[in-house]
Amino acid sequence: MSDPTSAENAAIALDAYEQHILGDTQTTHRRNPVVADALVRGLINDLADYADQRRIDLTAVLTGALEARADDLTERQDSELVRQVGAQVQIRPDAAGEPLPVRRGIITGVEEYGNGNAVCAVRFPGMDGDLQLAVSDLQPAEPFPHTTTRLGPVTTATDAEKTLITVAARIQCCARSGVRPDHDDLLDRNSLAGNLGRWAGTTDERVLTTLTQQINQAAARMSTPGLQPGTDPVRLATTGFPHDLNDGVPAPSGQDPAAGQAPSPEHRPGRAL
């Protein structure tokens, strides 16, 4: 990933060197990569002799230039990564001019401005609402820790939130129906909430609190009207349960698919969720 402005600056300098070495010629480094390669090598060789005459440590100069280039490329690559919706990012430690606590989150939106500037909306697990941050204040985050759950492995913060909502909703269904929650669900809820809190720089309690509305909505979609006493709602809800909470829950065999859907607000019995 090269800088077009820097590359053109070098091309202009090589134009002059080419004119001095080759004179007027139809074969130019701008059109012939073989000529470009030869001219660059010749220029570096001549620069080495020039540096010797001026007592300049060319090795140190080139090493410093290569290190600076590597840092620049990394910064540009980071800038591209943190402009992608869904990317995991963290606030740069020096973004406020002083050390900041670790804060990691997920990009939910990007608004581009001129001159390569952009503002990102970032959701931080355990914090209310999205924060608007300049792309220059962000960098790629450390990976989310691999977490094993009964629904499969979780490797990103986004998937961890989705899985946590599913698991917590199942536990909530059990509590409302007087059924003991599945032990694996309790373990998954604790590990997912804990890993999200530690990764984001918040707490497991805050993570669960900020997801309360989504957990309630998921639990409402799992509710089964007319559930017979002794029937485990979790077993019904987990039969082929989709990882995407926007999908419906398959009805048990022999049951009308519509019967497994949550009633509309105007027909929902009992107290509001």
Which pLDDT belongs to residue 159? 96
Amino acid at 85: V
The helix (H) or strand (E) run that includes residue 32 is none
Looking up tokens 């949550």 gives: 262
Going residue by residue through the chain, which has 273 residues, state the pLDDT in tens, using 9 for 90 and above. 566 788 888 889 998 988 888 888 778 888 889 989 999 999 999 999 999 999 999 889 888 888 887 766 666 666 676 778 999 999 988 766 666 788 999 999 998 887 768 899 999 999 999 999 988 888 899 999 999 999 999 999 999 999 999 999 999 999 988 999 999 999 999 999 999 999 999 999 999 999 999 999 999 998 744 444 444 444 444 444 444 444 444 444 444 444 444 444 444 444 333
**Please, are residues 68 and 60 in contact by the beta-carbon 8 Å criterion?**
no
Structure tokens at 156: 């990103």
Model pTM score:
0.59
Which pLDDT belongs to residue 1? 52
Identify any residues that bridge with 78 across adjacent strands, giving them in sequence order. Answer: none
The gap between the terminal CA atoms of the chain, to the nearest Å, is: 52
The helix (H) or strand (E) run that includes residue 104 is strand 104-112
**CA–CA separation, 27 vs 39, rounded Å?**
12
**CA–CA separation, 259 vs 248, rounded Å?**
12
